[in-house]
Amino acid sequence: MDRTERVELANICLIYDEDKILMQNRTKDDWKGFTLPGGHVEPGESVVESVVREVKEETGLDIQNPVLCGVKQFPIENGRYVIFLFKTNQFSGELVSSEEGEMRWVKRSEIAQLDTVPDFDALLQVMESDKLWEFAYTIEQETWIPQLY
């Protein structure tokens, strides 16, 4: 039995400064709304290198010491999509937006008023929890079911 499957790797980073988090108003149709910056892991690139690079490309900021705080995954054709979840409050540089979307600092108390991506609350819950580590989707009868572990 072959246990090999196709896997796509990506990352997301929660950048925070006291009661504010850095959010991106993502414009791509596949996951539209306010979310956190991140992107794909390139071939041969380490996961940590990829999150540092993606944050720089999308925000203009240089992050230091990103901490792995969870994993999100969901099924794709013939495999799975795995997103490494990072967080940090160590950064430098000047904030800019990119073609991915407008970047802005948002107070945590204001997040509920934003049009976030559909699973943002669960994503943030895993990233900020000391007890949760994984956010996984299963599909049953064409219905996507989120599971937090």
Domains and CATH numbers, the chain: 6-148 (3.90.79.10)
pLDDT at 29: 72
pLDDT tens sequence across 33-78: 999 999 999 999 999 999 999 999 999 999 999 999 999 999 999 9
Residue with tokens 């999150």: 51
Mean of per-residue pLDDT scores for the chain: 95
- Global pTM reads 0.94
Residue 130 CA, chain-centre distance (Å), reads 17
pLDDT tens sequence across 2-12: 888 999 999 99
Strands of the chain (E only): list them: 6-17, 20-26, 33-35, 38-40, 62-63, 67-76, 79-88, 91-92, 101-107, 134-140, 143-148
